[in-house]
Amino acid sequence: MAARGRLLAGAAFALGGGFGLYQTLQHRLKTREHLAKQEPAQLPEGSLQLTLYQYKTCPFCSKVRAFLDYHGLPYEIVEVNPVMRKEIKFSSYRKVPILLTNTGNSLQLNDSSVIISAVKTYLISRRKSLDEIVTFYPAMKAVNDQGKEVTEYGNKYWLMLDEMETQQVYPIKEMLVEEIKWRKWVDDWLVHLISPNVYRTPREALASFDYIVREGKFGTMEGFFAKYVGALAMFFIGKRLKSRHHLQDNVREDLYEAADDWVKAIGKHRLFMGGSQPNLADLAVYGVLRVMEGLEAFDDMMTHTKIQPWYHRMETAIKEAVITNQHQLHLPV
């Protein structure tokens, strides 16, 4: 039974189901370390070398990949088995994404928003070391809405820049305020719409777990169990998540409203929230929504909201950035 519980939890985490399933199966969350030197996973010395530990279908991992791809940062991927998680046994932090960085020594970054803010700060402000930058994102104990103790990270939506650097990135103060607001909206609201929508019906839950098993790192028996037992369990847990997050009876309506709220915030005169180019909020929204591609919830969202033009612009912007980077590194496209 314990093995089955671990398998179900791992499969659910792979497509964001952990938002409720983890709290359902675990009575307590342990405080995690924010960063640590990792001897078993030393990276070769160089400039900025990155290794991303992920579940491919995890919204938070997809958010980090969108950021890295758009900024032309090469990185290695280690796909983590959602059940055993042996690939991250070196870490006391047992969630993904985990980003190992090397700028002369190896450093572990946890939490998708911290990863993005810290690396972006490093790219802009090279006079600060990455080791120094991550100290501005301290781990703090907090109690969530369910009364459980969790670890949060201070300042995680802020870039640690001086006044001149801030002026260069955000010429108008409102640009910074807007970006932070919507990055937080992604973590506080948008991600919580994924699981209830992709597990909305037994048929959709089965299709979602088929996708998770196909794209993830499962053994044969693990995959079989995850697909059929996990799908059934997550259908019922999806109902619980709907109640916890106060969603409408038809959870699609919340997804549609969120998509249209985002488009409305961008307005008619900007290609992206960042203007002519995506900013960190654009990349976060795109990364989270991307995990639904190929599922009924994604098709419905594209049909019943105004988000499609922006979404396709994001696809193009990231693809162009990847191609440009591959040409610069002389890699096959």
Q: Which of 44-58, 107-121, 201-215 has the lowest mean pLDDT?
A: 44-58
Q: In this predicted structure, what is the pLDDT of residue 6? A: 53
Q: Which of 28-32, 141-145, 196-200, 253-257 has the lowest mean pLDDT?
A: 28-32
- Give domain status of residue 255, yes or no: yes
- Give domain status of residue 222, yes or no: yes
- Give domain status of residue 291, yes or no: yes
Average pLDDT of the segment spanning 32-36: 34
Taking all residues of the chain, what is their mean pLDDT, rounded to a whole number? Answer: 84
- Give domain status of residue 11, yes or no: no
Tens of pLDDT, residue by residue over 96-155, are: 999 999 877 889 999 999 999 999 999 999 778 999 999 999 999 888 877 888 889 999
Q: In this predicted structure, what is the pLDDT of residue 11? A: 52
The domain total for the chain is 1
- Give domain status of residue 32, yes or no: no
Q: Is the pLDDT score of 35 beyond 50? A: no
Q: What CATH number is attached to the domain comprising 277?
A: 1.20.1050.10
Average pLDDT of the segment spanning 175-187: 98
Cross-strand bridge partners of residue 108? 100
The C-alpha atoms of residue 183 and residue 116 are separated, in whole angstroms, by 11
- Give domain status of residue 23, yes or no: no
Tens of pLDDT, residue by residue over 63-95, are: 999 999 999 999 999 998 877 788 989 888 888
Tens of pLDDT, residue by residue over 291-325, are: 999 999 999 999 999 999 999 999 999 999 988 87
Q: Which residues are catalytic?
A: 55, 58, 60-61
- Give domain status of residue 313, yes or no: yes
Q: In this predicted structure, what is the pLDDT of residue 231? A: 77
Q: In this predicted structure, what is the pLDDT of residue 56? A: 85
pTM: 0.83
Greater confidence, 9 or 184? Answer: 184
- Give domain status of residue 93, yes or no: yes
Domain holding 58, by residue range, is 49-329
